[in-house]
Amino acid sequence: MTTTALITGANKGIGYETARALAARGITVLVGARDPGRGAAAVAKLRAEGADAAEVQLDVTDAASIATAAAHIDERFGALDILVNNAGIAGSFGAPSQTDLAVLREVYETNVFGVVAVTNAMLPLLRRAPAARIVNVSSEVGSIAMMMDRDGPMWQAAAVPYPSAKTALTMVTAMYAKELWDTPIKVNAANPGYCATDFNAHSGFRTAEQGAEVSVHLATLPADGPTGQHWGYRWGATDGAEYGIVAW
Ligand code: NAP
């Protein structure tokens, strides 16, 4: 039986590597991309490596695009096993007192509202799979505990749009986990860690492949795996555990 995974924002960066790694496990990957040309290029690269990959045009801020994508997956597969809500934007970082409300709205549209819209559109398909997994790509930047740790790596960062949107996304994750608690569906937030991608002008100290490993882990959890957690890379952890639960 075919196992299918839809990854949003999969034409590059961590999303692309997530598609690549899931495909290497024999999963059919649906490469979500808002730009058809970029999506087609990513699919061509994946197929050249032997992946079973197909493009799904999907702008997470566009209701019509989301509905068309869901209808397409329904028609072609009738169910969806894995949804990785990976698409995200950084907006601009600056002092909270200088927050540009237009940027704040734009970041929430993609990083929060987009996830809720895509998840709700795909849930009927996910419910039809035997044991679906939903992974919301969040961030340690959204961890209030880490942000407020004066001795931690996040203390120097202070901005409203991106950090607060990722905090919201983590709560969104927890709320879906509660609604789906008594089903086989698991919903978790992923923290890839600081990865070198276009997102941060390649300043991250981890690779996109390493970041993708976190999403793949949560996308392929066994039946006794957790739900409602924020899990992934633990930057600055002093107990030696590189991966684990990320503080809320
Ligand atoms: P990236 O290389 O910039 O890739 C972001 C992807 O999201 C691109 O495919 C982009 O498409 C897509 N996207 C943006 N807006 C979209 C929209 N409205 N609809 C559909 N797709 C959209 O960034 P990345 O580093 O791989 O980030 C992936 C995720 O990891 C994000 O959620 C980010 O917040 C999270 N994250 C990243 C880091 C890090 O250090 N890199 C750390 C923690 C969390 P286009 O190519 O069309 O722009």
Tokens encoding 71:
């209808």
Average pLDDT, the chain: 97
pLDDT at residue number 240: 87
Question: What are the tens digits of pLDDT across the range 204-245?
Answer: 999 999 999 999 999 999 999 999 999 999 998 888 899 999
Does the annotation mark 233 as catalytic?
no
Tokens encoding 226:
């957790």
Residue 1: band (very low, low, confident or very high) from pLDDT cuts 50, 70, 90 = confident
Ligand 1 contact via 192 beta carbon (within 6 Å): yes
- Which of 35, 56, 85, 86 is the pocket-test mutation for ligand 1 (most atoms within 8 Å of CB)? 86
Ligand 1 atom closest to 11 (CA)? 9
For the CA atoms of 224, 226, 232, 234, the dihedral, rounded to the nearest 10 degrees, stands at: -110
**Total residues found in the chain within this entry:** 248
Question: What are the tens digits of pLDDT across the range 130-154?
Answer: 999 999 999 999 999 999 999 999 9
Ligand 1 contact via 113 beta carbon (within 6 Å): no
52: CA distance to ligand 1 center in Å? 22
- Which of 55, 83, 89 is the pocket-test mutation for ligand 1 (most atoms within 8 Å of CB)? 89
Ligand 1 contact via 139 beta carbon (within 6 Å): yes
Span 82-109, average pLDDT? 97
Q: Which of 56, 2, 48 is nearest to 25 (CA)?
A: 2
Question: What are the tens digits of pLDDT across the range 34-58?
Answer: 999 999 999 999 999 999 999 999 9
Number of domains in the chain: 1
Answer whether 234's CB lies under 8 Å from 39's CB.
Answer: no
| Host domain of residue 220 | 4-245
Helix axes 63-77, 114-128, angle to 10 degrees: 20
Q: Indicate the burial class of 131 (C-beta count within 10 angstroms; 0-12, 13-18, 19 or more).
A: middle
Q: Where are the alpha helices (DSSP H) in the chain?
A: 13-24, 36-48, 63-77, 101-108, 114-128, 144-147, 161-179, 208-219
* Percentage of the chain lying above the pLDDT 90 cut: 97
Does the annotation mark 162 as catalytic?
yes
Instruction: Provide the CATH number for the domain around residue 111.
Output: 3.40.50.720
